[in-house]
Chain A
Amino acid sequence: QKLAAAANSNYLILDKKTSYKDATTYNNFYEFGTDKADPAENADSLKTRPWTVTIEGEVKKSVTLDLDSLLKLAPLEERVYRLRCVEGWSMVIPWIGYSLSNLLKKVEPTGNARYVEFISLADKRQMPGVNSRVLQWPYTEGLRMDEAMHPLSLLALGMYGEVLPKQNGAPVRLVLPWKYGFKSAKSIVKIRLTKDQPRTSWNLSAPEEYGFYSNVNPEVDHPRWSQASERRIGEDGFLSRKRKTLMFNGYSEVASLYTGMDLRKFY
Chain B
Amino acid sequence: MLTIKSLSPRQLFWCRVIVFVLALLPFLRLVYAVYQDALGANPLEFITRNTGDWALYFLCISLAITPLRKILEWHWLIRLRRMLGLYAFFYASLHFLTFLWFDHFFDLSDMWLDVVKRPFITVGFVAFVLLLPLALTSNQWMIRQLGGKQWQLLHRLVYLIAPLGVLHYFWMKAGKNLLLQPLLFAVLVGGLLGVRLYWRLQSRMKR
Contact = CB atoms under 8 A, between A and B. Distances in A.
B30 interface: no
Given A26-B42, A89-B42, A209 B105 contact: no
Contacts of B172: 224
Interface residues of A, number: 27
Which secondary structure dominates chain B's binding surface? helix
Nearest to A233: B41
Nearest to A133: B177
Contacts, number: 51
A258 interface: no
Q: Which 9 A-B pairs have the closest CB atoms?
A: A26-B41, A22-B41, A209-B175, A206-B175, A134-B177, A233-B41, A241-B105, A34-B178, A224-B120
Given A21-B41, A36-B41, A226-B114, 5 more contacts: A22-B41, A26-B41, A205-B177, A224-B118, A224-B171
A37 B41 CA distance: 10
A237 B43 contact: yes
Contact of B44 (A25, A223, A237): A237
Interface of B: 40-45, 102-103, 105, 114, 117-118, 120, 171-172, 174-178
A231 B42 contact: yes
A225 B42 contact: no
Given A224-B172, A225-B118, A238-B102, A25 B41 contact: yes
Contacts of B105: 241
Nearest to B46: A36
Contacts of B171: 224
A75 interface: no
Interface of A: 21-22, 25-26, 34, 36-37, 89, 133-135, 205-206, 209-210, 221, 223-226, 231, 233-234, 237-238, 241-242
Nearest to A221: B117
Contacts of B178: 34, 134
Contacts of A36: 40-42
27 contacts: A21-B41, A25-B41, A26-B42, A34-B176, A34-B178, A36-B40, A36-B42, A37-B40, A89-B42, A89-B45, A135-B177, A206-B176, A210-B175, A223-B118, A223-B175, A224-B118, A224-B120, A224-B172, A224-B175, A231-B42, A233-B41, A233-B42, A237-B44, A238-B43, A238-B44, A241-B105, A242-B103
